[in-house]
């Protein structure tokens, strides 16, 4: 979807040509609309440099670890963390949000490293999972304190590391609930609240993998996957509504939830509900719905001018075609019939969308 200012520019040109708006008002109207904020090269390099700086600090401390007394090692860790956090607070006070964001991200990385290094200092046999969770909570606390999307992203990453450490993820109803069930919605809220694309991508993927955990807990039944696909589809519809309301980076959730819904629906077709030897017709019906849904997503992505949704529709359509050909044993006549139905449905849907766009 084009930016708001770009759409107003096109509308103004059309209104001026129709005589609805005076041509001399064009510059004033466009000047009153702020430009969309974009990540320029300098800011991107600053983020990369900040992350590398945090890694460099950790590597430097680790390289000089053996030659320092224990108390000095601990003091260095505290000093480095306090310096980064304090610098982030100072940058926020001076109204430098990018610098504050980067510094708090570095502080969260340093804190995570400090947990492990402190255990080495005092010969404490720590739990890797607990260390990852502690790092994630500290990073999220820094994020909330300083409105740092970088620290929030680091927090979600460490929570995920903790979830995947010493855990049987798909072991049925006895599996322990991951902490990401609470962290992912928080990350999504912060991404929308603060308008952060990287945090939105991480949070969306975290939500999808929470859906995967639930499917595994329910013994990966086809009905469960279909239900989860419907839930993700509803979430994608909600994200699309936010996207049409110009909510910053809601389009990221729109794209990923659409991908998750199609993925879960595709998986459902290969589970016992459709996999029984006497359910060939059900399996073929699944592939047909898969193809129709993929075509619909592709058309919707083009209609909304959303690159990620369009790409998801294309990839899903390719997967559906391949699955159908495999199911039909490369029977060209049967394949031709299925694809003819899909083609007719796609043409009808295209005509409906074109007509609705014309009447809008």
Mean pLDDT over residues 266-275, rounded?
Answer: 71
Query: Given a cut of 70, is residue 353 above it in pLDDT?
Result: no
In this predicted structure, what is the pLDDT of residue 275? 47
In whole angstroms, give the CA distance from residue 179 to residue 183: 6
Query: Given a cut of 60, is residue 1 above it in pLDDT?
Result: no
In whole angstroms, give the CA distance from residue 105 to residue 92: 13
Is this model's pTM higher than 0.75 or not?
A: no
Same domain, yes or no: 268 and 149: no
How many CB atoms are located within 10 Å of the residue 52 CB? 11
Long-range contacts formed by 308-312: CB under 8 A, 24+ apart: 308/251, 308/252, 308/254, 308/255, 308/256, 308/258, 308/259, 309/254, 309/255, 309/258, 312/255, 312/258, 312/259, 312/262
Of all residues in the chain, the percent with pLDDT exceeding 70 is: 70
In this predicted structure, what is the pLDDT of residue 126? 57
In whole angstroms, give the CA distance from residue 232 to residue 236: 6
**Contact status, residue 251 vs residue 243, Cβ threshold 8 Å:** yes
In this predicted structure, what is the pLDDT of residue 149? 85
Same domain, yes or no: 60 and 198: yes
Does residue 227 lie in a domain region?
A: no
Does residue 226 lie in a domain region?
A: no
Mean pLDDT over residues 203-220, rounded?
Answer: 81
pLDDT top residue among 179 and 45: 179
In this predicted structure, what is the pLDDT of residue 115? 74
Query: Given a cut of 60, is residue 111 above it in pLDDT?
Result: yes
Confidence of residue 304 (pLDDT cuts 50, 70, 90): confident
Same domain, yes or no: 71 and 179: yes
pLDDT tens digits for range 49-102: 777 777 777 676 666 566 667 677 777 778 888 888 888 888 877 878 888 888
In this predicted structure, what is the pLDDT of residue 258? 92
In this predicted structure, what is the pLDDT of residue 234? 92
Same domain, yes or no: 116 and 255: no
In which domain, by residue range, is 57 found? 46-220
Query: For all residues of the chain together, what is the average pLDDT?
Result: 76
């Amino acid at each position: 979807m084009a930016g708001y200012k770009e759409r107003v520019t096109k509308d103004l040109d059309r209104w001026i040509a129709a005589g609805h708006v005076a041509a001399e008002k064009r510059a004033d109207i466009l000047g009153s609309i702020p430009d969309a904020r974009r990540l320029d090269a300098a800011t991107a390099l600053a983020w990369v440099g900040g992350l590398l700086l945090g890694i460099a600090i950790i590597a430097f401390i680790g390289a000089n670890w053996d030659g320092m007394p224990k108390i000095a090692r601990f003091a260095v860790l505290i000093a480095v963390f306090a310096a980064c956090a304090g610098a982030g607070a100072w940058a926020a006070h001076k109204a430098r949000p990018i610098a504050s964001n980067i510094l708090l991200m570095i502080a969260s990385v340093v804190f995570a490293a400090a947990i492990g290094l402190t255990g080495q200092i005092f010969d404490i046999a720590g739990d890797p999972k607990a260390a990852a969770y502690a790092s994630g909570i500290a990073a999220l606390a820094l994020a909330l304190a300083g409105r740092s999307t970088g620290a929030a992203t680091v927090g979600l990453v460490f929570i995920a590391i903790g979830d995947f450490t010493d855990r049987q993820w798909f072991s049925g109803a006895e599996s322990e609930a991951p902490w990401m069930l609470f962290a992912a919605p928080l990350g999504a809220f912060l991404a929308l609240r603060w308008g952060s694309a990287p945090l939105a991508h991480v949070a969306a993927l975290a939500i999808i993998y929470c859906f995967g955990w639930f499917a595994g807990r329910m013994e990966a039944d086809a009905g469960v996957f279909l239900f989860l696909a419907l839930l993700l589809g509803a979430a994608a519809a909600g994200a699309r509504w936010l996207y049409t309301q110009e909510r910053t980076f809601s389009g990221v959730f729109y794209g990923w939830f659409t991908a998750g819904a199609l993925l879960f629906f595709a998986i459902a077709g290969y589970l016992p509900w459709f996999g029984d030897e006497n359910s060939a017709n059900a399996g073929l019906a699944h592939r047909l719905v898969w193809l129709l849904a993929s075509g619909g997503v592709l058309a919707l992505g083009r209609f909304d001018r959303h690159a990620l949704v369009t790409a998801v529709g294309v990839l899903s359509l390719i997967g559906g075609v391949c699955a159908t050909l495999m199911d039909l044993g490369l029977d060209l006549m049967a394949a031709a019939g299925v694809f003819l139905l899909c083609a007719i449905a796609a043409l009808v849907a295209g005509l409906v969308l074109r007509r609705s766009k014309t009447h809008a």
